[in-house]
Chains A and B, each alone.
Chain A
Amino acid sequence: GAVVSQHPSWVICKSGTSVKIECRSLDFQATTMFWYRQFPKQSLMLMATSNEGSKATYEQGVEKDKFLINHASLTLSTLTVTSAHPEDSSFYICSASVGETQYFGPGTRLLVL
């Protein structure tokens, strides 16, 4: 099956620092990847669609300058949370498309102190 990895699996950082999360498709190429955020006991909220070789498409209410997305290759998309604050603490999950089906990574737990 389609395997998606994320790194790191968890990160703790100080307020004001930036954190980069990587999402990789391991056994397939993905022109489109997606970034989600999930708060405890809630559903997944789509943040942005990452397109290889072009700019990401952000959902309404998501600050593009705060959540920088780069999709430089067909197997790697990165999400950088810039100047992180405690309210950015969440579970960040990426997915990669195979046709219409999305396969998800294991998630990255971010805690901002």
Chain B
Amino acid sequence: GESVGLHLPTLSVQEGDNSIINCAYSNSASDYFIWYKQESGKGPQFIIDIRSNMDKRQGQRVTVLLNKTVKHLSLQIAATQPGDSAVYFCAENTGTASKLTFGTGTRLQVTL
């Protein structure tokens, strides 16, 4: 079936560097994408979203890029901090009753 997947299961970055987390999706009908951050033992936390009619959206220290041609989504975190250490999930909404399909997740480890 169609799915959302991530290229890198674990990403290690040094504090202060920029992080890029990637996600590939296969459903061309998906029109809405969300990035979530999940810390250990907690529920996912909304970070940023983007619609398919956009290719870039910026938030505070985060930027999401969408490339519909290759069905690729990325999350960029500027000046990564220890508090950014978590598992990051991309999720796509194909428009079916607001259901989300989650990717496998990438663990971001921030080293000092």
Contacts and interface: CB of A to CB of B under 8 A. Distances in A.
B42 interface: yes
A43 interface: yes
A1 B48 CA distance: 13
Contacts of B93: 100
Interface string B85-112: 0000101010001111011110000000
Interface string B35-56: 0100001111110010000000
**A interface SS class:** strand
Given A43-B104, A44-B89, A101-B34, A93 B44 contact: yes
A43 B42 CA distance: 13
Contact of B41 (A102, A103, A109): A109
A101 B43 contact: no
Given A103-B46, A105-B43, A107-B43, A49 B89 contact: no
Give me the 7 closest cross-chain CB pairs, A-B, nearest first.
Answer: A104-B43, A107-B43, A104-B44, A97-B98, A106-B43, A43-B102, A44-B102
Interface of B: 32, 34, 36, 41-46, 49, 89, 91, 93, 97-100, 102-105
28 contacts: A1-B46, A6-B43, A34-B99, A34-B100, A42-B104, A42-B105, A43-B103, A44-B89, A44-B102, A46-B99, A49-B99, A93-B44, A95-B43, A95-B44, A97-B98, A100-B93, A101-B46, A101-B49, A102-B34, A102-B46, A102-B98, A102-B100, A104-B43, A104-B46, A105-B43, A106-B43, A107-B42, A107-B43
